[in-house]
Structures are given as structure tokens and as C-alpha cells.
Chain A
């Protein structure tokens, strides 16, 4: 088949009916525009909402859980080796919260190729003393650098600087709701009492806002050293190791293997936050469904217009066939017309979809949840553009296929005799 000639004929037919062509192409353009804008926006929102949790949640968390000891004395007693003992009123034992050998474990994890980074933490339960009132709170001892790199700690600091935790001795960053309760400003000193009764004075170097009110009411951050001092522990004392992976999907498998290798408890993000996965999946599904519906509607528009064009061009088709064009050539002409509409409409759709995304990305959007977010989020993922253009070509091809087949089956004798 002579493709150049086919394209040439298709082009002439298109130009002769450029208004109809334009209407068909505008249908596709609209579909693709909305598809791109909707998916980018939805995906941006998804990332934002997931980020609320996922950004701050480690993919794997290593810790020692409080629970009854696995090996009770009775199971070690030789006389009961081959029996099943029943123990009632079993209590959790005095398991140390500390992770043994935390230094070597952290080093080993950092060398693991699947691991993006490791952040050791300590949690300390304390009371914030505000005059006669004691407020229950938690101090998280963190490695500021690792925390910022892995968990976007910086993004949630609304006053002061995160790095001050390292440079200012005995310093603390308070949750904004906690700070309001304590009527504390940056630079003020707050007093805390630990669970063992020790009293400390800490300097407030900043506030953070997570967007979860309950979280902000109780949480505060200090450096690992400061927290170890508050708890009266050595500089090796670590209660949690928080791991971020390159591939989040490997978390459940790796968590199991880490738990076995290092003899600790390991919790993966999927188990800890399964509902977020479901939420973002459903949201993506809805946006894809709406986008694809728009394209299918555009496809019907193309189908209609091509059908009309074929009725109008019966004479042309008959003459082409009489002068030696086979049915498949005629079919190719109409398929080329359909795909040209799809390609033209699709590319304009991609461009205006990108434009609309940029516009949405500039609409102001203030939320307490994310202090760094000032406008509606957009995910400029090239994948959406790829899906958009492929889908526009596929729909137009399918929409053109039936009319093209009809055109190829037209009997020139009937048309020529008809007059």
C-alpha cells in the first residue's frame, strides 16, 4: 500500500471538511485536557494526603515490643519437655526497650542496598510543668539530619530552625498546640519532669505543626543526646530504628528478615497504615475512570463525524474504487483520518492539560496540615501524558475502525447506478 498517497488523500478530505474535523478534534482535546488535569490534580492531592502519613512514617520500624517472654521457666524444665503447659494470668515481662547492639545494626542497615536511610530515635514520656499544671507529653530524641532527609522534618517546622537542636544544648522543638498550652515562645525555657522524677529545663528553639491536632498537643523533639541525658541513659541507648527503603513494596518482606537477623520486632508501613494504600488506590481508580469516560465520549463524537463524512463522501469513495483503489485503501484513508484527529486533538489536549495543571497549581490553598503547601498540589508525572496520548490514539482508532470498514465495503456499482 502506498502510505504517502493514502495520507495525501486523507489530508485532502480532512481539509475539505475542516469544520467537522475541528469539532471532532476539540472533543478529543477536551477529553485529554480534563484527563491530564484531573489525574495530575488527583495524584497531587493523593501524594499530599499520603505524605501526611507516609512522609513521617518509616517503611520499617525496629523496636522491642512489650510482651510476655517467649520462654517461660516451665518450658525450660526438663520434666515438662514433652508436654503442653497451660499458664494462667501470664504477665508481660520486664523486657528492655533498648535495642541491643544498636550501633552495629545501624551500620549494617546503612550498608544494605535496599535501604535509603536509617534514623535512630528514642522516646521519653515526660510531664511538662506549667506552673501548677503538669501536661503529659512525649519527647522524641532524633537525629535531625537523618530525620530531615528521610522524613521531611524541616517541612513541618513553623518557627525556628530544626538544626538548632544540634547546636543549642538542652534544646527542644514543641508541637504548636503543646506550645500554646504552655504559653511558650521560641527562646523561652520549659521545665519537664521525667517518669523517674528528674527535673530538666529545656530551651524552646522552634515549633512544629504536623496537621494532626492530637499529635501536636503531645509531641516534641529533642536531639538524641539531650533525650539520653533526660532519661539518664548512656549514649548507646536507642529504642527505635526507623528505616526508609528505596522501594516501599519490599517493606513487609524486609521487615520479616530484619526481625529475624537482629532479634527485634519489626513493623512495616503496610501493616501499620494499610488504610492509606486503599484510600489512594480508590482515588486513583476514580480519576482514571472519569478520565477514560471522557475519552470514550470523545470517541463516540469521532465515530459520528466519520460516519457522516462517509455518507457525504459516497461518491468520492465510489470513484476511488472505480479507478483502482481497493477496499483496504479506502479503509486506510478513513483510519488515517481518525488517527490524525486523535493525534492532533491529543497533542493539543496534552498542551492545554499541562496549562490547566499549571493554573490549578497556582490557586492558593492553605491547610493547617501542611504548613509548606501554599497552592493546590499537582503531580506532573510524564506517565499521565503518555497514557493520555496513547489512549487518545487508541480511542480514535477504534472509533474510526467501524466507519472505515463500512467505507471499505461500499459497492461502487450501487453508488454509480444510483443516480
Chain B
């Protein structure tokens, strides 16, 4: 066993942990901001809006995230036109490409989760809100959004954990998150077991923290949905 190599690389793992955490939180934030309006638009919009949003979620939920990441990172780089455009300084950065892939992918899943949450909203609540004379904006803010978010919290929690695990793909485009650090150690020291076990343990700790946070949020905001 070569645990001394792991101990010597503690600093690498720490910076990997920071990057994994940063990627997860940033992707969750941006995908949430994208998914909420998309879910509302899909639920309340016309046939064309619904078709466009469904097309988007089908595309990103129907293909593997790794393919999406490779298409954005390597695929787009193939086009001379793009390489000479103002977009290139952004798209040449692996961090931007990774975030773009994770946000678009996660937003697709989150949109469907939130839209399903809205679909389960009892008609009575909407009618009551209308009867009170609430405007569309007030209804959205006070009825639809809270109902949508609380009802989809358990499913959204799964998506958040899945997204955190998916950040391990970032190492394929040179970002040294936890998996990248482990891969690098296997390639330089020819040991496989210790680096990946350490990486697995770090992911486990992150997952348990995230799950704890989500459980707390569920009790705090979605407690009223529990059948008594």
C-alpha cells in the first residue's frame, strides 16, 4: 500500500475539492436561474413555446453529458469562424466550456422536474388565487414558485447530487478536480487503488453534506406537504 503518496498529495486533493465544490455550486446556481423561468414558460406558455422548451430538454436529456462536453470543448474548436470570433476567448477556456455543458445539461433536467412540480399543483389553489384578484405576477411569486419548488425538492435534490458526481467529467478537459487529481496520481505513480478510494471518500463526504442540507431544506419549506 502507498498511502504516503496520498498524504504527500493532500494539498492537490484539497485544491481538487475546492474546484469540485466550485463547479457544483456554480452549475447549480446558473442552471437553477435558467430552469425556473423555463419551467414556468413550459407550463403556462403556448404550443410553440412548449415545443421549443421540450426540444431543448429532449436534446440535453437524451444525450450523454460527456458527449455534450466534448462537442462544446473540442467540437466547437474545429470551426475557424468561431476561433476568430469574439466568443473564442471565452470558449477557449476549459472552465467556461465545462460550466456551459453542466449548466445546459442540468437546466434541462431541472426544467422537467420543476414543470412536473407545477403540473401537480391542485387547480383549487390557482382558482383561489384568481378569486382573490391576484395578478399573474403575484400569482407566480406567491403561489406557483413556492408550490413548484417545494413539490419538486426531493427530485431536485437527486439532480443536485447527480450533477456533483458529473463534475468528475471536467478532468477529461484538463480541469484538476478531485477525479483529475486521482487520475494524475495513477499516471505518475502507477497506483490505482489508493488515489481512487481517496477520491471516492471525498465525494461521499460531499454527497452526505449535500443530502443533509437538502433534508433540512425539505423539512423547513416542504414540511406542509407531508400527509398527517
Q: Do A and B assemble together? A: no
Chain B interfacial positions (CB closer than 8 Å to A) = none
